[in-house]
Amino acid sequence: MMNHPPEAVIGDVMLPGSRSAREPDRGIKRGRHGLAPETVAENQRDRLVDAFVEVVAEHGFPQATISRITHAAGVTKKAFYDHFADREACFRAAYDQGMDLIVARVEEAWKGAGSCPEGVLAAMRTLLETLAGQPRFARVAMVEINSTSPGVRRGRTRCLEGFRTLLTDPAPEPGVAGVPEAVADAVVGGVYSAIYLWVDAGRTAELPEMVSSLTYFVLLPLLGKEEAAREMARMGVNAGASDHPAYSS
């Protein structure tokens, strides 16, 4: 799997774009402020990444000019180029930072559950609720990435390969086997497509409604139709449910 920073699995998820770069407590006063250059640089970079996601989510990547990004961040164009060679470099930074957090949380939920089916349910809930709570990043990561170069989109491929590993790794319990890579790719691709369609349609806040159906979809190749249905029933989840209060704790 991917390597994740330790902080990626601790506390609340804070994805790029989750807060405004112009919040008063994030600004640095001009003139003497006593801060080390490294601290100033880190502050500027964090604000640029948040501003980038905000601007791209609102205007789309093709219309996300350097001027709009730096204005939203409250920094100069020089500061932008001090950190990023171009807009696509900033996109890669924002995408990698956010997806590292999401993948780590999904892995944690999956592997921390008591059984494979419970892990799939926990992982799917984590993924969909995280994206639903971070609509700007969801828009950028799921939709606007299609407007970027192949170099940026390779980051998405690496991310999907990480999810695939969860399905192909040997399972830790009897009766559950990993599936072939081609099948795992089809499952991951299907989940991705379902999420993409809802985000693109402006239904990001509704993503948790798909937890039950997508959990069943992932369990099918792992357990087979009958066993998957039994496990869904055991967990108190209706595979055909359209909302999620029934499985919330």
CATH superfamily, with its number, for domain 90-247: Tetracycline Repressor, domain 2 (1.10.357.10)
State in words which class domain 6-86 has.
mainly alpha
Q: How far apart are CA 128 and CA 134, in angstroms?
A: 10
Checking if the pLDDT of 131 tops 80, the result is: yes
37: confidence class by pLDDT, cuts 50, 70, 90: low
Checking if the pLDDT of 7 tops 50, the result is: no
Q: Output the pTM of the full model.
A: 0.83
Domain ranges of the chain: 6-86, 90-247
Identify the pLDDT of residue 245.
39
Q: Rounded to an integer, what is the distance from CA 32 to the centroid of its chain?
A: 38
SS3 assignment, position 172: coil
**For the segment 158-183, what is each residue's pLDDT rounded down to a tens digit?**
999 888 888 887 555 655 666 888 99
How much is the average pLDDT of 127-145? 96
Q: Do domains 6-86 and 90-247 have the same CATH topology?
A: no
Checking if the pLDDT of 123 tops 90, the result is: yes
Identify the pLDDT of residue 20.
84
Which two three-digit tokens encode residue 52?
Answer: 């980038």
